Amino acid sequence: MHKVLIWDLPTRIFHWALAGSIGATFVFAYGFDENDSRFQWHMLAGLIAAFLLVVRVVLGFVGTRYVQWKYFFLRPADSLSYFRSLFRGPAILYAGHNPGTSLVALLMFALIPLLVLTGITQEWEISEDLHAGLAIALAVAVGLHLAGLAFYTIRQRDNISAAMVTGYKTAPINSGITSARPWTALVLVVVIAAWVNALLGTYDTRQATVKIPGLSGVVHLGENKKWKFWD
Ligand code: HEM
Ligand code: HEM
């Protein structure tokens, strides 16, 4: 088997930006008291994760082959034969996401909007309860993701994690994409940086409010305020 180009640069940039923002939400949520102004960074990181997800949805339609939505494999029969082959070895090779990463990635993609929704509607008691539970579910999903990568690496003696850095993965020789799309990556970086800059530009530390670029709502980030999206 050969190392072939599977993950284009936009996907890799999206991945590490998402991992960073999700990591930050947990660090700031558990690292600081809710009354500490630094807790507000928890919510800013969550809003950034939400924007990254919007970008990812678009990439799922316009991106290179393995980023597209149709390349996520969820059929129980596929998953069963994949996991059987993984435990017995050698694993069935998937050029893009295997059934394991397909499932865990889609789980994360579903949990993040729910977390943001319950995060910005904290004035409702139900949101408060749900938010903490959803956060645990996301932590479990990330844990499964990392455990899956570690298991694959040991079992297959193939460092699959490197693929999200270099773009190259062990896969059948003719399965690669032809370009890493550096220009699309540049546009992506500019768009993400501009959005984050616009978000932080509206951030009022004293009032603990922020406006979402492109939307008319104000989000209250302070513990003693009522969180109301449309204000
Ligand atoms: C909070 C941390 C993380 C989150 C939220 C996360 C999330 C994701 C998501 C959503 C995907 C699917 C990519 C897509 O289709 O757009 C993915 C794939 C992947 N991630 Fe992560 N990730 C995290 C940490 C890591 C770390 C630390 C590594 C490496 C050590 C890693 C390596 C990979 C690899 C190699 C894939 C592709 C797997 C495949 O071949 O299907 N991730 N991750
Ligand atoms: C992917 C995004 C997010 C993740 C992973 C996440 C995760 C968490 C975690 C782990 C906690 C601590 C729960 C506990 O103490 O048991 C928390 C609390 C909180 N989060 Fe988030 N969150 C996200 C997005 C947001 C957003 C966008 C907002 C608001 C704009 C928000 C507002 C809050 C508030 C107000 C609390 C304190 C709630 C309480 O303890 O009563 N979160 N979040």
pLDDT at 231: 55
Compute, in angstroms, the gap from residue 164 CA to the centroid of ligand 1.
7
Residue closest via CA to ligand 1's atom 29 equals 161
Q: What average pLDDT does the segment 141-149 reach?
A: 97
Q: What average pLDDT does the segment 55-67 reach?
A: 97
Measured from the CB, is residue 17 less than 6 Å from ligand 1?
Answer: no
Count the domains in the chain: 1
- DSSP class of residue 67 equals G
What is the percentage of the chain residues whose pLDDT exceeds 70? 95
Amino acid at 13: I
Compute, in angstroms, the gap from residue 127 CA to the centroid of ligand 2.
10
Q: What number of H helices and E strands is found in the chain?
A: 7, 4
Measured from the CB, is residue 211 less than 6 Å from ligand 1?
Answer: no
pLDDT band at 207 (very low <50, low <70, confident <90, very high): confident
pLDDT at 226 over 70: no
pTM of the predicted structure, to 2 decimals? 0.95
Distance of alpha carbon 31 from the chain centroid? 21
147: which residues sit within 8 A by CB, 6+ positions away?
Answer: none
Compute, in angstroms, the gap from residue 198 CA to the centroid of ligand 2.
22
| Bridge partners, 211 (sequence order) | 218
Of 122 and 179, which is predicted with more confidence? 179
Residue closest via CA to ligand 1's atom 24 equals 19
Domain extent for 38: 2-179
Mean pLDDT, the chain, rounded, equals 93
In a domain, 209, yes or no: no
Lowest mean pLDDT among 6-10, 112-116, 118-122: 118-122
In a domain, 201, yes or no: no
pLDDT at 158: 93
CA–CA distances in Å: residue 140 to residues 70, 122, 135, 136: 25, 23, 9, 6
In a domain, 111, yes or no: yes
Measured from the CB, is residue 101 less than 6 Å from ligand 1?
Answer: yes
In a domain, 171, yes or no: yes
CA distance 124 to 199: 24
CA–CA distances in Å: residue 175 to residues 2, 53, 169, 210, 214: 10, 26, 10, 45, 38
pLDDT at 161: 96
pLDDT at 172 over 80: yes
Q: What average pLDDT does the segment 200-221 reach?
A: 88
200: which residues sit within 8 A by CB, 6+ positions away?
Answer: 44
Residue closest via CA to ligand 2's atom 42 equals 119
In a domain, 217, yes or no: no
pLDDT at 227 over 80: no
pLDDT tens digits, 68-110: 999 999 999 999 999 999 999 788 999 999 999 999 999 999 9
Q: What average pLDDT does the segment 198-206 reach?
A: 93
In total, the chain counts a number of residues equal to 231
pLDDT band at 173 (very low <50, low <70, confident <90, very high): confident
In a domain, 92, yes or no: yes
Residue closest via CA to ligand 2's atom 41 equals 128
Q: What is the DSSP string of 152-191?
A: HHHHHT--GGGHHHHSEEEE-GGG--S---HHHHHHHHHH
Ligand having the closest approach to the CA of 217 = 2
CATH number (domain holding residue 162): 1.20.950.20
In a domain, 138, yes or no: yes
Q: What average pLDDT does the segment 57-78 reach?
A: 96
Measured from the CB, is residue 220 less than 6 Å from ligand 2?
Answer: no
Return the closest-CA partner of residue 158 out of 104, 94, 107, 79: 94
Helix (H) or strand (E) holding 145: helix 125-156
